[in-house]
Structure 1
Amino acid sequence: MVANRLAVPEAPPRNRATERSALPLHAASLRTWQRSDYESVWARAEWMLRQPREIVAQSAPGMLLGVLFYQNSTRTRLSFEAAARRIGGAAIGFSDVATTRAGDFYRESLEDTVRVVGSYVDALVLRHTEDNAAERAAAVSQVPVISAGTGDREHPTQAMLDLWVLRSKLGQLTGVTLGYVGDPVCRHARSLIYGLSAFGAAGIVFLAPEGATVPDDVQRTIRDAGMSWGIAGSAAELLSKVDAVSMIPFELSDFHESAVRSRTRSHQLDERFVFGSALLSRTGTGVPVVHTGPRGPELPPETDDMANVHYFEGVAKGVVLRSALLAELFASRRSR
């Protein structure tokens, strides 16, 4: 008779800091991130998915995360705070800048706020209305700075999350043509394109609102990466041309506004831009779809149970992805 034995926990993947080189100090931008950097974070995330919570909680015990949100958020802020707790740490910070010296009559500078809060914590997560805020923060910070979305510039962890989910469905990202639904000026688009270029994707096809254009810097980044790009006129046309789809809210808010604007949607979204269940069943059954949230009429709730729609899966995995990133940056910094 064989005696019962407790299962031996699976060892976490080795952090690259113990090998040839560490991750970049910051995740303020994905411009300098290489394929191996993404794969290091994703390997840790996949390991976390297989572990019980008590094992994951040993990933970065005692780590303290500073959360500086100058702009509203639901998924990004709460998933970062949850991530810090999941890996054995905690989070402090603010979600309303008006309650701080940076937002009241003192108007403390971003640089000073970063240096002050950075002296309390092991890493900072910054969401801001200004395009260059993450780079400014990283330039003065003694701890890793992670952009949680800054102006129209970048949203690194959302791109990391979308690409991780899509790779798990497609098997690889090399040679993939991605469909992008929403305004190409969005910060998510830039981070996503940096990630696609690191993996040798084939190209990107945009389905954009009426009057939207692909910014010159986005075109240049795509061209420099050797990728192709194009425009689709409808959801059906897009699905026929791509291997996967990444969406943002089709009616984009102004990322330079710090508070919720009073306007409401004044019209119904044109059916050409709606990825309903009938269309996805007819045309896109093999095309995985992710959405940054908050989703609007471009991806109606009727699609929730479809096998290739991964909206809520992405929401749940956002905590895991950010847990893995924090753990990797924490380990990298301690080894420097």
Structure 2
Amino acid sequence: MQRPNYPSGKDLLSADAVSRFDLDDIMERAERHLREEEMEKAGHALPEPPAPRRRPKVIATLFDQRSTRTRLGFQAAAARLGHQSIDAYDTDRNRIGQTTGESIEDHIHTVELYSDLLVVRSHMEDLPYRVGRLSYLPVINAGNGADEHPSQALVDIFAIRQMRGPIETLGIALSSDTRARFAISFVKMLKLSPPKRFTLCCLPDAPLNPAMREAMTVLANLGTAIGIVHDIRQTLDHDVLSIQMQDMSKFAHAALGNEAVDKEKESEPFTLTARKILDARSDTLILNPLPRFSELDTSCDSLPNAGYFRQVQLSVPMRMAILERMLLGIPWTGQADSFPPSSGG
């Protein structure tokens, strides 16, 4: 089979793929989808009702890691755009890597014949990049080991803009393991609209992930005031706090199947409770990419600044915008050609 050319910028594999132009475009698309959703819920007719599709696009999800919000978010986004989604990797049924199975190369070349876009989530950090090289279709990295999660970063920035306004006017805090993939993509993405202030809350004896350190240095060079603290209370004077566990090592490469991972209790300085928020008289917007563990107490759920479930809701129009843009063949104009070195295979 004669394979098509691989257009530059076809894939969303890293936050580095996104330029300021791309960010403005994707936010505008997501805001339009959100407005249309709100109009429909209010019973108003849309200005231009979408034309029925004669041939819906097919979104193939290749997830070898468990997922709730990312998988359902992309599936819901595809359905609302009038497209369909298929599961192209089932850990209980697929034969990839089995003695009677097929290679990843054969699997991808088969799936792309059924599909128009591939969404990949894997515990293997190189897999989305390998798929991007193997397939002429656009590929989205939906989380790869302890590397990146660029669509989550776009969701988080969209949520902040919707609930707190322009990023450039805000003070933003992040309490997280600095190796967490959502955190790395998020801080990288902030360089496109640098906040006034950025504070990292982390374990005092944990070395900073080099990728996180580099992203924070970029922000500092762009004029953002950078700080590092070791107690969640010191973040509650910010406009936004994104929080997750401080040690994600057990979860970043967790096995799939039926193997369970024990949840360790977060240490007290990094646990957010309603009492801490009320004592600080804080109106900090609280975000969490979910699932949460013991870092975010359920007592916070009833507070007006709890934004994490609204964050989930806003992920659908953002993922609609991502799918729409990529299915139209609009390239990402950041560092879209940069790939990690091939590990062979």
Q: Is TM (by shorter chain) over 0.5?
A: yes
Q: Deviations over 1:23-52 (max 9, x none)?
A: 942111120311221221221121112223
State the structure with bigger RCO (CA 8 A, min sep 6), 1 or 2.
2
Q: How many residues align?
A: 311
Residue 202 of structure 1: how far off its partner (Å): 4.1
Indicate how the Cα distance of structure 1 residues 219 and 74 shifts in structure 2: closer, same or farther if over 3 A, else same. Answer: same
1:250, CA displacement in angstroms?
4.2
- Cα RMSD (Å): 2.7
User: CA, structure 1 residues 131+144, in 2 after alignment: closer, same or farther (shift >3 Å)?
Assistant: same
Tell me by how many angstroms 1:210 deviates: 6.2
Runs of at least 5 residues in structure 1 that lack an aligned partner in the other structure: 1-21
- Relative to structure 1, the CA distance from residue 310 to residue 59 in structure 2 (aligned partners, 3 Å threshold; closer, same or farther) is farther
Q: Output aligned runs, 1:171-320, within 5 Å.
A: 171-174=165-168, 176-209=170-203, 211-225=205-219, 226=221, 227=224, 229-240=226-237, 242-252=238-248, 253-259=250-256, 261-266=259-264, 268-283=265-280, 285-320=282-317
Contact 2:62 2:119 in 1 (8 A): yes
- Aligned-residue offset at 1:113: 2.6
Any residues of structure 2 matched to 1:34-45 within 5 Å, and which?
34-45=19-30
Q: CA 1:307–1:261 in structure 2 vs 1: closer, same or farther (change >3 Å)?
A: same
Q: Which residue of 1 aligns with 2:339?
A: none
**Match of residue 31, structure 2, among 46, 53, 60:** 46
Using the size of structure 2 for normalisation, the TM-score is 0.81
Aligned to 1:124: 118
Match of 1:9 in 2: none
**Per the alignment, do residues 149 and 200 of structure 1 end up closer, same or farther by CA in structure 2, a change over 3 Å counting?**
same
Are positions 1:105 and 2:103 aligned together? no
Rounded to whole Å, the distance in 2 between the matches of 1:196 and 1:23 is 23
Structure 1 residue 209: deviation in Å? 4.2
Amino acid at match of 1:117: V
SS in 2 for 1:93: strand
**How far apart are the structure 1 equivalents of 2:133 and 2:261?**
36
C-alpha spacing 1:197/1:101, structure 2 compared with 1 (3 Å): same
Q: Is the 8 A contact 2:61 2:87 kept in 1?
A: yes
| Cross-structure match for 1:33 | 18
Contact 1:24/1:33 (<8 A) preserved:
no
- Residue type of the partner of 1:167? R
Question: Which of 322, 327, 338 is equivalent to 1:330?
Answer: 327
Structure 1 position 220, deviation (Å): 1.8
Q: SS of the residue aligned with 1:332?
A: coil
Tell me, yes or no, if the aligned pair for 2:59 and 2:84 is still in contact at 8 Å: yes
Shift of 1:103: 4.4
Which letter maps to 1:288?
L
Letter in 1 for 2:260: S
CA contact (8 A) 1:249 1:293 kept: no
Aligned-residue identity in percent: 26
Give the corresponding residue for 2:149. 155
Aligned partners of 1:129, 1:59: CA distance in 2, in Å?
A: 38
The aligned residue for residue 86 of structure 2 is 92
Report how far residue 127 of structure 1 moved.
Answer: 0.2
User: What CA distance in whole angstroms lies between the structure 1 residues aligned with 2:152 and 2:239?
Assistant: 19
Shift of the 58–322 alpha-carbon distance from structure 1 to 2, 3 Å rule, reads farther
- Distance across 2 between alignment mates of 1:59 and 1:153: 39
Q: Indicate how the Cα distance of structure 1 residues 125 and 148 shifts in structure 2: closer, same or farther if over 3 A, else same.
A: same
Rounded Cα–Cα distance in structure 2 between residues aligned with 1:31 and 1:186: 16
Work out the CA distance in 1 between the residues paired with 2:126 and 2:272.
34
TM-score normalized by structure 1? 0.83
Q: Give, in angstroms, the shift of residue 213 of structure 1.
A: 2.4
Q: Decide whether the 8 Å contact of 2:158 with 2:314 is kept in 1.
A: no
Please report how far the alpha carbon of residue 57 of structure 1 lies from its aligned counterpart in structure 2 after TM superposition: 6.2
Unaligned regions of 5+ residues in structure 2, if any? 1-6, 332-345
Q: Residue 143 of structure 1 corresponds to which residue in structure 2?
A: 137
Distance in 2 separating the partners of 1:117 and 1:83 = 20
CA–CA distance in structure 2, aligned partners of residues 109 and 201 of structure 1? 45
- For residues 330 and 57 of structure 2, the distance between their equivalents in structure 1, rounded to whole angstroms, comes to 12
**Residue 333 of structure 1: how far off its partner (Å):** 5.2
For residue 252 of structure 2, give the secondary structure of its aligned residue in structure 1: coil
Q: Distance in 1 between matches of 2:97 and 2:147?
A: 22
